[in-house]
Every structure is written in C-alpha cells, then in structure tokens.
C-alpha cells in the first residue's frame, strides 16, 4: 500500500501515552512539552511523576503526534537530558478526548 490512500489513513486521530526519563524535572520540561504540543495542535496532558519522570498523553492527527514523539525522544526543554522516551497505548480514536493540552499537578 502507499500513495494518497495511505496518507489519508495516517491523518486519522491517534492517542498515545508517553513517559520520559532522564533529567526532565525542574527544567521546565512540562512547559516546553505543552508549548510544543500546542504548536502542533495537539491535546492531552503532561505531569511530573513521583519517581522522577515526566508522563502524559497526546492526541491529534497521527503525523503531528509522531512529530511530538520525536521531540520527546530527542529535543525536550533546553536544560533537559532525555535518557529514554517510552510510548504505550497507541491507538486510533474517533474524536479527541481533551479540550486542550494541560500541565497537570
């Protein structure tokens, strides 16, 4: 398969959960993640965990969600040091389940 049909297929809405490890707390990681997600037009959330990681969920067009996944894997906030980014529960969704992209406490 390929071509235009595959492209249209890719632009369906997806939801993915993520958890990023490394030096990702106290470095404005959540704020930057929110900014990047909003720039990409995604919805979802991000929060710090008690075990030093940052986790969240992103939802939106598949291609945009992939861009955020790459960003979470390689870029992050300026002072962050990402050692690992794990993604789970990736699935197609019929509609967005969040209104915007929030930082949760």
Which residues carry out catalysis? Answer: 30, 48
The rounded distance, in Å, linking the Cα atoms of 65 and 11 is 10
> At a CB cut-off of 8 Å and minimum separation 6, what does 104 contact?
45, 46, 47, 56
């Amino acid at each position: 398969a390929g071509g235009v049909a595959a492209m249209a297929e890719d632009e369906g809405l997806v939801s993915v959960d993520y958890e990023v490890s490394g030096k990702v707390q106290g470095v404005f990681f959540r704020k930057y993640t929110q900014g990047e997600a909003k720039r990409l037009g995604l919805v979802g959330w991000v929060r710090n965990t008690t075990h030093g990681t940052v986790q969240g969920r992103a939802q939106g067009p598949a291609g945009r969600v992939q861009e955020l996944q790459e960003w979470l894997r390689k870029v992050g906030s300026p002072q962050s040091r990402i050692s690992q980014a794990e993604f789970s529960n990736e699935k197609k969704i019929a509609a967005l389940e969040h209104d915007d992209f929030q930082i949760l406490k």
